[in-house]
């Protein structure tokens, strides 16, 4: 050991600190990024707005991988099922679960908003409808059906049409199951594609803190905190409702199906946190499926139910929509009788389906629902000032809700297999890198 020339402490301090930071869990790195972003957005707002590009790049990286990964997983999951009957059974269970839970959550939200009387005396006169200029004023169900059945699957992939990809993957998977051994070469290709895409997802998730930094810097710089005071009651009710859903409703459902809810939350907590900050549940779609498999869910169930839930099971978003419409109804002195509120719930049950898990997608549904019950767009514009705050929480709840939905359907299938003595599907192959790839 050379004691005559000790290693300088200053030259290696920074690299050592940098390596330690890189070794931190993604969750801790993201928390640090939140603090830095808030400081930048507060004290250097012009720089904060420019940093939004970091968040946009992160989301683009995620979205470019989503369909190339989700498609082969769905196809393989369905192809491993021995019968089309099981595919239909799982789809039926998932959709029934989505509808029942969504309706219960809407009733919770409306009841809580009605009980607290949020919106009375809100400064709706200060809202500016021009803020809504870039958003759709309604939802075309004709177009929704056509999106679900695209005429060009490559165009659907290029547009990021998740629902269309799910439908096409369903057809391909059923066809592969029907022809049996002849589909094995194609299945091997899909396995390889999925493994590569999981590896890419691992790389992308490692840069998530940079995306977090960009989004928080922009949100604080652009939206500020000036509009919070008049809407604190609304924010509080939404967060309280989401807390009831996550802390009461979901545990009850988990208890009925004997799901280890606390362990499930621990398993997906880091991913829910990333979705919370980025305000996009798509940012964690791929690693979420891997994490649920590690938790013990069947890949065939997870790869089908989770992507389907991204379009049809937005638990956090529908709660926000119901609370927002009740808030606006109170603000404008509209009818908030029980029949009127039930009508609003019915409208939201229909309109909330088919919306992908992207940032602020709930606003589009909110506009359409508001128009259908006669609320002016100006009031909805008022909520845009705090949308990013509630959007974070509702997106995180969407991730938890879809994870629980997959666990419920998987538990139901395992109970059925136990009762009948033999499973409907052949044994799944030994875990590969798809399951072993960590999703921080």
Cβ distance 141 to 48 under 8 Å?
Answer: no
Is there a domain that residue 356 lies in? yes
Residue 28 has pLDDT above 50, yes or no: yes
Query: Of residues 428 and 153, which shows the higher confidence score?
Result: 153
Q: Which residue has the tokens 């549940």?
A: 281
pLDDT digits (tens, 9 = 90+) for 155-211: 888 877 777 887 888 889 888 888 888 888 998 999 899 888 878 877 887 887 888
Q: How confident is the model at residue 281 (pLDDT cuts 50, 70, 90)?
A: confident
pLDDT number for residue 63 = 73
What percent of the chain is helix, strand and coil (3-state, nearest 5)? 80, 0, 20
Say how many C-beta atoms besides its own lie within 10 A of residue 96's C-beta: 11
401, 250 in Cβ contact below 8 A? yes
Q: Largest Cα–Cα distance in the chain?
A: 87
Taking alpha carbons only, the member of 80, 30, 101 closest to residue 276 is 30
pLDDT at 432: 39
pLDDT at position 45 is 87
pLDDT band at 136 (very low <50, low <70, confident <90, very high): very low
Closest C-alpha to 386, from 348, 360, 356: 360
Task: Assess if residue 8 is contained within a domain.
Answer: no
Q: Structural domain tally of the chain?
A: 1
Higher pLDDT, 120 or 364: 120
- What is the reported pLDDT for 352? 65
Neighbours of 413 (CB within 10 A): 21
**Is 377 domain-assigned?**
yes
Q: Mean pLDDT across the stretch 336-364?
A: 64
Range of the domain at 175: 32-39+50-436
User: Does any domain span residue 11?
Assistant: no
* Structure confidence at residue 372 (pLDDT): 61
Mean pLDDT of 126-148: 54
Amino acid 434: pLDDT: 38
Between 229 and 264, where is the model more confident?
264
Q: Is residue 394 part of a domain?
A: yes
Instruction: Please tell me the distance from the alpha carbon of residue 362 to that of residue 324, in angstroms, as a whole number.
Output: 10
**Per-residue pLDDT reduced to its tens digit, 213-242:** 887 788 778 766 655 555 788 889 999 999
Output the average pLDDT for the chain.
Answer: 77
Cα dihedral: 370, 372, 376, 377 (round 10): 60
pLDDT digits (tens, 9 = 90+) for 374-426: 677 566 666 766 777 788 888 899 999 999 999 999 999 888 877 765 554 44
- Indicate whether 327 pLDDT > 70: yes
pLDDT above 80 (res 92): yes
Nearest to 244 by CA among 95, 383, 107: 107
Count CA atoms within 13 Å of residue 388 on its CB side. Answer: 16
Q: Are 147 and 164 in contact (CB under 8 A)?
A: yes
In a domain, 281, yes or no: yes
Q: Is pLDDT at 141 greater than 80 in this prediction?
A: no
CATH code where residue 72 lies = 1.10.3860.10
pLDDT over 60 (residue 132): no
Residue 245 falls inside a structural domain:
yes
CA Rg value for the chain: 23
Q: What secondary structure letter does DSSP report for 132?
A: G
Residues, the chain, total? 440
Confidence grade of residue 96 (pLDDT, cut at 50, 70, 90): very high
Residue whose structure tokens are 């880091």: 270
Rounded CA separation 369/139 (Å): 9
Burial of residue 39 (CB within 10 Å: 0-12, 13-18, 19+) is middle
pLDDT of residue 21: 62
pLDDT-derived band of residue 440, with 50, 70 and 90 as boundaries? very low
DSSP three-state, residue 332: coil
DSSP, collapsed to helix, strand or coil, labels residue 284 as helix
Within a domain: residue 3?
no
Read off the pTM. Answer: 0.70
Please, which pLDDT band fits residue 135 given cuts at 50, 70 and 90? Answer: very low
Q: Which residue has the higher pLDDT, 12 or 342?
A: 342
User: Which tens digits make up the pLDDT trace of 97-122?
Assistant: 998 998 899 889 988 988 888 877 76
Q: Name the residue with higher pLDDT: 83 or 325.
A: 325
């Amino acid at each position: 050991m050379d004691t005559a020339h000790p290693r300088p402490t200053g030259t290696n301090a920074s690299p050592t600190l940098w390596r330690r930071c890189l070794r931190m869990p993604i969750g801790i790195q993201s928390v640090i990024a939140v603090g830095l972003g808030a400081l930048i957005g507060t004290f250097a707002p012009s720089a904060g707005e420019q940093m939004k590009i970091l968040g946009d790049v992160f989301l683009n990286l995620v979205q470019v991988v989503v369909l190339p990964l989700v498609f082969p997983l769905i196809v393989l999951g369905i192809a491993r099922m021995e019968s089309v009957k099981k595919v239909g059974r799982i789809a039926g269970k998932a959709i029934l679960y989505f509808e029942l839970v969504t309706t219960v959550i809407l009733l919770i939200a409306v009841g809580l908003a009605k009980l607290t009387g949020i919106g009375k005396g809100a400064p709706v006169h200060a809202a500016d409808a021009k803020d809504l200029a870039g958003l759709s004023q309604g939802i075309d169900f004709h177009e929704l059906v056509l999106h679900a059945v695209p005429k060009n699957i490559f165009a659907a992939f290029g547009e990021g049409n998740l629902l269309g990809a799910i439908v096409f993957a369903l057809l391909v998977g059923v066809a592969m199951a029907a022809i049996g051994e002849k589909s094995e070469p194609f299945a091997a290709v899909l396995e390889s594609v999925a493994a590569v895409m999981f590896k890419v997802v691992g790389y992308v998730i490692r840069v998530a803190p940079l995306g977090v930094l960009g989004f928080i810097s922009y949100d604080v710089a652009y939206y500020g905190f000036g509009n919070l005071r008049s809407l604190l009651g609304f924010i509080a009710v939404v967060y309280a409702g989401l807390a009831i859903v996550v802390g009461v409703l979901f545990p009850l459902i988990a208890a009925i199906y004997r799901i280890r809810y606390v362990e499930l939350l621990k398993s997906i907590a880091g991913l829910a946190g990333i979705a919370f900050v980025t305000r996009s549940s798509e940012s964690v779609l791929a690693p979420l499926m891997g994490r649920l498999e590690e938790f013990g869910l069947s890949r065939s169930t997870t790869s089908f139910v989770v992507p389907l839930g991204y379009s049809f099971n937005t638990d956090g978003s529908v709660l926000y929509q119901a609370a927002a419409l009740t808030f606006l109804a109170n603000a404008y002195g509209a009818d908030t009788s029980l029949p009127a509120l039930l009508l609003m719930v019915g409208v939201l049950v229909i309109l909330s389906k088919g919306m992908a898990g992207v940032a602020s997608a709930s606003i589009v549904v909110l506009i359409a629902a508001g128009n259908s019950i006669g609320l002016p767009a100006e009031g909805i514009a008022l909520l845009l000032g705090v949308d990013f705050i509630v959007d974070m929480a509702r997106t995180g709840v969407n991730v938890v809700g879809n994870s629980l939905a997959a666990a419920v359907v998987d538990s139901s299938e395992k109970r059925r297999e136990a009762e009948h003595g033999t499973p409907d599907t052949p044994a799944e192959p030994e875990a590969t890198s798809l399951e072993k790839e960590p999703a921080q």
